Amino acid sequence: MKTRLKIRLALAGFVICVIWSFAVFLSPQMQQAQAKDFDLLIKNGRIVDGTGNPWFVADIAIKQGRIADIGHFAAERAARIIDANNHIVAPGFIDVHTHIEGGITRLPAAENFLQMGVTSVVTGNCGSSELPLGAWFQSLEKTGVSLNIASLVGHNTIRHAGMNGDFERAPTAEELTRMRELTAQAMRDGAVGLSTGLEYVPGTYAKTDEIVALAKIAAEHGGLYATHMRNEDATIEQSIKESLEVGAQAGCPVQISHFKISSRSRWGASAITIKMVEEARARGQQVTVDQYLYPASSTGIGILFPSWIFADGKLNERLQDKATRERIIREMIEKANKGGFQDFSFAYVASHRANPNFNGKNIAEITAMTRKETSIAAQAEQAIEILKTGGASMVLQKMSESDVERIFRQPFTMIASDAGVIDATSDSIPHPRGFGNNARVLAEYVRKRNLVSVEEAIRKMTSLPAQTFKLWERGLLRPGIAADVVILDEKTVADRATFQQPKQYPTGIDYVLVNGQVVIEKGKHSGVRAGQILRGRGR
């Protein structure tokens, strides 16, 4: 009986196995899962791999978020095919100078970046970052984001946290120790370096030795020093010299943010500033720069004022005192005149919550609307009123195209937007760089002006940023690394964002993949949140 029972059980098991095998064989879903080697195959594209080398034709196979192989593969091997015939296939663009804090939590899709082909950003620039950085990273991972995020730790943020509000002085020994500890913790949390904003309070009061002390901490954890310098116009040479000195003393690479000549009276000085970077590199110092491809900058309205008025939180008292107010106006006019401007018509309001009717107009135009007098003194008074009623984000048309072009041609120049995550449906009129910067590079400066090859332009947006910030799994198309990919038509790619109508997405960027997942498909955001936090080596 026992033998028969064993035989029956064995037969029953055999029958079950046969039935299950047939079910698997007959199931299209199971057949597909078993048969497909790749999740996605991008076929027939002209591969611009990020190195600057000439393009070549090949397929890119993607599996589990990574590039599995590059070559020529049968379509049947992949679960999905994207035909990239007559299109460029490039690494996802890396924007090394952004300000996404705040915006990314409200708009985790970050569509204005992705529509430009940007798959990774570095934030925490100009001395301002989240703190504690580790907690912020964890919150983003919990909610999910659509692009990859790295961050610097901001010196201004550290100074606020480490000092007691009295910023017009050097920190005490105890305060500097606290600032060093905060910097070290941020680096351990995954910051990729230290940033400064030396035109802004409280960073403007910091001496070079203070910055060196904190930059040394960043260097010890494998980070770099990224700086919004003290001055980008009249005394820019001194500012570059200080930046190089910090890097040399701290023993870390130097990254100069939004490299430009922001003064009509200094137009053409990029020939001097570029030579300073070249000479530093010839001495063996690692120095790079970034730029956006527009002859206008963007920041808060406070940049029009002398920095001392923002000290100690006593702005309102200073504005209400008649003698102090007159001094402020006098110094505002002197600052504008030094820059080669006879009035404030170069300063456009991008967003002023108290009166959205000001958006898109310059200070001279707004003064004409609101006051009988239109002198430069009246314009300064109007700027004070805007500051008093909540301030405004500004677009400042202070640069020349010849300087922009000269800087762009340099092999050590990266492309960056200096933008945040922007709601395309809001009533603000921001700088167009937040919607068009990368596409403008390819359309205007490559295709139209022919300043560099398309391969070189893409290198500036991919492998050079990845190398500079040590994002070793990004910036190239190579088997084994993260599948951040952009598919674009180099003949039709174009920026549509203008200063008058900035919130328009570019054309010609058909697909954007983040970690192997399609996030932009033929101009539409898929809603996928495939982004990752890119932590620095100090982690």
Q: Would the pLDDT of 10 be above 60?
A: no
Query: If we measure between CA atoms, which residue out of 164, 226, 236, 215 comes closest to residue 398?
Result: 236
- Distance CA(215)–CA(201), nearest Å, equals 19
Q: Which domains does the chain have, with CATH numbers?
A: 91-299+397-471 (3.20.20.140), 303-393 (no CATH)
Can you tell me the distance from the alpha carbon of 149 to that of 192, in angstroms, rounded to the nearest whole number?
Answer: 11
Which backbone phi and psi does 362 adopt, to 5 degrees?
A: -85, 170
Q: What is the pTM of this model?
A: 0.90
Residue 448 has pLDDT above 60, yes or no: yes
Long-range contacts of 515-520 (CB under 8 A, 24+ apart): 515/65, 515/148, 515/482, 515/483, 515/484, 516/39, 516/40, 516/62, 516/63, 516/64, 516/65, 516/66, 516/482, 516/483, 517/65, 518/40, 519/114, 519/119, 519/146, 519/147, 520/114, 520/115
Is 528 in a helix, a strand, or coil? coil
pLDDT at 348: 95
Query: What pLDDT is attached to residue 8?
Result: 59
Residue 12: predicted pLDDT: 52
CB 525 within 8 A of CB 519: yes
Does residue 296 have a pLDDT over 50? yes
> Residue 508: CB partners within 8 Å, gap ≥ 6?
439, 443, 488, 489, 490, 491, 492, 493, 494
The answer for 150, left when phi > 0, alpha when psi is -120 to 50, beta otherwise, is: beta
Query: What's the pLDDT score for residue 372?
Result: 82
pLDDT per residue as tens digits for the range 350-363: 999 999 999 999 99
Instruction: Give Cα 276 distance to the centre of its chain.
Output: 25
CA pseudo-torsion sign 453, 454, 457, 463 = negative
Query: In the predicted model, what is the mean pLDDT of residues 266-295?
Result: 98
Rg, C-alpha atoms of the chain: 27
SS3 of 104, please? Answer: helix
Instruction: Please provide the size of the chain in residues.
Output: 539
Q: According to the model, what pLDDT value does residue 23 have?
A: 47
* Distance, first Cα to last Cα, the chain: 67
Indicate if the alpha-carbon torsion angle 157, 163, 164, 166 is positive or negative.
negative
Q: Indicate whether 200 pLDDT > 80.
A: yes
CA 489 to chain centre: 23
Residue 170 is classified by DSSP as P
Q: What is the pLDDT of residues 25-81, one digit of tens each?
A: 445 444 444 569 999 999 999 999 999 999 999 999 999 999 999 999 999 999 999
Strand 517-521 versus strand 524-525 pairing type: antiparallel
Cβ–Cβ < 8 Å for 37, 59: no
- Give the CB-side neighbour count of residue 230, counting CA atoms within 13 A: 19
Q: Cis peptide before 295, with omega less than 30 degrees from 0?
A: no
Render pLDDT for 203-254 as a digit per residue (tens, 0 to 9).
999 999 999 999 999 999 999 999 999 999 989 999 999 999 999 999 999 9
**∠ Cα 283 286 291 (to 5°):** 120
pLDDT-derived band of residue 534, with 50, 70 and 90 as boundaries? very high
Give the pLDDT band of residue 164 (cuts 50, 70, 90). confident
Q: For residues 193 and 133, is the Cβ–Cβ distance under 8 A?
A: no
Query: E-assigned strands of 267-358?
Result: 287-291, 297-300, 347-351
Q: CA 89 to CA 84: how far, in whole Å?
A: 7
Q: What tokens were used for 204?
A: 């403007």
Helices 270-282, 236-250: crossing angle, 10 deg rounding: 20
pLDDT at 35: 67
